Amino acid sequence: MKTPSIKLLNLGARLAISALAAAHLISIVAALSTLVFLVLISFTAFDINPTYEELAQTLDELWD
């Protein structure tokens, strides 16, 4: 049987890992949002109404 202090340490470790995982997911979402924002800004600098093909081409260029 685990002692209460071990249970508290286990709970604390799980909470810390969960917090780190959540922070990591937030940073990934922020990076992808920034990428989309930059793509949209690049289109407004050159063309007000980009076509679907232009959007797809720009995304392909970014992933290369």
- What is the predicted pLDDT for the residue at 47? 58
- What is the predicted pLDDT for the residue at 13? 93
Helix orientation angle between 4-46 and 52-63, rounded to the nearest 10 degrees: 130
Q: And the tokens for 56?
A: 């797809």
Phi, psi torsion values for 49, nearest 5 degrees: -125, 85
Give residue limits of the domains in the chain: 4-63
How many angstroms separate the CA atoms of 16 and 44, rounded?
Answer: 42
- What is the predicted pLDDT for the residue at 48? 64
Total-model pTM: 0.55
For the chain, what is the largest distance between any 2 Cα atoms, rounded to a whole number of angstroms? Answer: 68
Q: What is the pLDDT of residues 4-56, one digit of tens each?
A: 788 899 999 999 999 999 999 999 999 999 999 988 888 777 656 778 888 88
